[in-house]
């Protein structure tokens, strides 16, 4: 039986160590998913699919926007700070990214609510 010595291990390893050094690869980072609606039309398109159908739903969505909390059919999720949150409606979600966008959204909802009331009123003809 041969006795193992340090010199025999070192010489064997050095002779066989001609392969390149392997470094682990970093995991692939997924990019952000593209928004469902184009950024310049997102609020209008969201309202087309999720507009309030009754005055109670109009009150619920306005409450959700003013108070940043869920109510009835509309859910506020992923609130980031005071300005950013996601509003989930009946068919899709919308990310509100600033106070200015939230106020614009409130005006659009008020306009949509006025249109709905005018459409429901019997004509005077």
Tokens found for residue 86: 């996601």
Distance CA 50, CA 47 (A): 5
In a domain, 16, yes or no: no
In a domain, 76, yes or no: yes
Categorize the per-residue pLDDT at 30 as very low, low, confident or very high, splitting at 50, 70 and 90: confident
In a domain, 105, yes or no: yes
In a domain, 97, yes or no: yes
By the 8 A CB rule, do 121 and 98 touch? no
pLDDT score of 66 more than 70: yes
Tokens found for residue 105: 């959204």
How many domains does the chain divide into?
1
Note the pLDDT tens digit of each residue in 80-125: 777 788 888 888 888 888 888 888 888 888 887 666 554 555 554 4
* pLDDT for the residue numbered 125: 45
In a domain, 110, yes or no: yes
Contacts of 76 (CB under 8 A, 6+ apart): 64, 68, 69, 70, 85, 86, 87, 88
Q: What average pLDDT score do residues 44-67 get?
A: 85
Q: Model-level pTM?
A: 0.56
* pLDDT for the residue numbered 54: 85
In a domain, 15, yes or no: no
- Between the ranges 31-35, 61-65, 80-84, where is the mean pLDDT highest? 61-65
Tokens found for residue 110: 């008020």
Distance CA 45, CA 41 (A): 6
In a domain, 18, yes or no: no
């Amino acid at each position: 039986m041969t006795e193992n010595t340090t010199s025999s291990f070192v010489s064997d390893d050095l002779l066989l160590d001609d392969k390149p050094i392997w470094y682990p690869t970093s995991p692939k980072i997924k990019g952000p998913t593209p928004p469902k609606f184009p950024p310049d039309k997102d609020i209008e398109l969201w309202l087309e699919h999720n507009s309030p159908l009754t005055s109670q739903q109009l009150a619920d969505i306005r409450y959700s926007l003013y108070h940043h909390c869920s109510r009835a059919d509309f859910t506020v999720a992923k609130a980031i700070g005071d300005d950013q949150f996601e509003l989930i409606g009946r068919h899709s979600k919308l990310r509100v990214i600033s106070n200015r966008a939230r106020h614009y959204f409130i005006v659009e909802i008020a306009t949509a609510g006025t249109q709905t009331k005018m459409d429901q009123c019997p004509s005077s003809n």
